[in-house]
Amino acid sequence: MQQVLYTRDAVRQTTKGGFHRVLRKNVSYNKYEDHIQRIEKELMKKHRLGYSALVKFLILKEGQQLFGMPFFNGNQLL
Protein backbone atom coordinates (compact mmCIF):
# COMPACT_ATOMS: atom_id res chain seq x y z
CA MET A 1 0.00 0.00 0.00
CA GLN A 2 1.36 3.35 -1.00
CA GLN A 3 1.04 5.58 2.06
CA VAL A 4 3.16 8.68 2.08
CA LEU A 5 3.74 10.55 -1.15
CA TYR A 6 6.07 13.16 0.26
CA THR A 7 6.77 15.27 3.27
CA ARG A 8 7.22 19.00 3.28
CA ASP A 9 7.80 21.73 5.78
CA ALA A 10 5.11 24.36 6.09
CA VAL A 11 6.24 27.63 7.56
CA ARG A 12 3.76 29.25 9.94
CA GLN A 13 4.00 32.61 11.60
CA THR A 14 3.76 32.56 15.39
CA THR A 15 1.99 35.17 17.48
CA LYS A 16 5.34 36.65 18.53
CA GLY A 17 6.24 37.52 14.95
CA GLY A 18 8.65 34.63 14.50
CA PHE A 19 8.30 31.56 12.34
CA HIS A 20 8.36 27.86 13.06
CA ARG A 21 8.25 24.85 10.78
CA VAL A 22 5.43 22.32 10.70
CA LEU A 23 6.01 18.93 9.08
CA ARG A 24 3.20 17.75 6.80
CA LYS A 25 2.66 14.32 5.26
CA ASN A 26 0.12 13.23 2.69
CA VAL A 27 -1.57 9.85 2.37
CA SER A 28 -2.73 8.50 -0.97
CA TYR A 29 -5.25 5.73 -1.61
CA ASN A 30 -5.70 3.61 -4.69
CA LYS A 31 -9.11 2.81 -6.15
CA TYR A 32 -9.39 -0.46 -4.19
CA GLU A 33 -8.92 1.09 -0.74
CA ASP A 34 -12.34 2.65 -0.12
CA HIS A 35 -12.77 0.33 2.85
CA ILE A 36 -9.84 2.01 4.58
CA GLN A 37 -11.49 5.41 4.29
CA ARG A 38 -14.73 4.00 5.72
CA ILE A 39 -12.81 2.59 8.69
CA GLU A 40 -11.05 5.96 9.17
CA LYS A 41 -14.39 7.76 9.37
CA GLU A 42 -15.73 5.26 11.91
CA LEU A 43 -12.59 5.58 14.06
CA MET A 44 -12.79 9.36 13.88
CA LYS A 45 -16.39 9.20 15.14
CA LYS A 46 -15.56 6.69 17.87
CA HIS A 47 -12.60 8.62 19.26
CA ARG A 48 -14.04 12.06 18.41
CA LEU A 49 -10.88 13.09 16.60
CA GLY A 50 -10.08 14.70 13.28
CA TYR A 51 -7.98 12.86 10.73
CA SER A 52 -4.63 14.29 11.84
CA ALA A 53 -5.31 13.69 15.54
CA LEU A 54 -6.51 10.14 14.77
CA VAL A 55 -3.30 9.30 12.92
CA LYS A 56 -1.18 10.61 15.80
CA PHE A 57 -3.34 8.78 18.37
CA LEU A 58 -3.07 5.46 16.51
CA ILE A 59 0.69 5.83 16.05
CA LEU A 60 1.15 6.50 19.77
CA LYS A 61 -1.15 3.61 20.67
CA GLU A 62 0.72 1.18 18.43
CA GLY A 63 4.08 2.43 19.71
CA GLN A 64 2.94 1.88 23.27
CA GLN A 65 1.84 -1.67 22.47
CA LEU A 66 5.02 -2.54 20.59
CA PHE A 67 7.61 -0.76 22.71
CA GLY A 68 5.92 -0.45 26.10
CA MET A 69 6.19 3.33 26.05
CA PRO A 70 3.30 4.92 27.95
CA PHE A 71 1.74 7.99 26.45
CA PHE A 72 -0.79 10.56 27.55
CA ASN A 73 -4.06 11.59 25.96
CA GLY A 74 -4.95 14.87 27.62
CA ASN A 75 -4.84 14.13 31.34
CA GLN A 76 -5.22 10.38 30.97
CA LEU A 77 -2.48 7.82 30.70
CA LEU A 78 -3.37 5.31 27.99
Mean pLDDT by 10 residues, the chain (78 residues): 50 64 87 95 96 93 85 57
What is residue 10's predicted lDDT score, i.e. its pLDDT? 55
**In angstroms, rounded to a whole number, what is the distance separating the alpha carbons of residues 44 and 37?**
10
- pLDDT reported for residue 5: 47
- Map residue 31 onto helix, strand or coil: coil
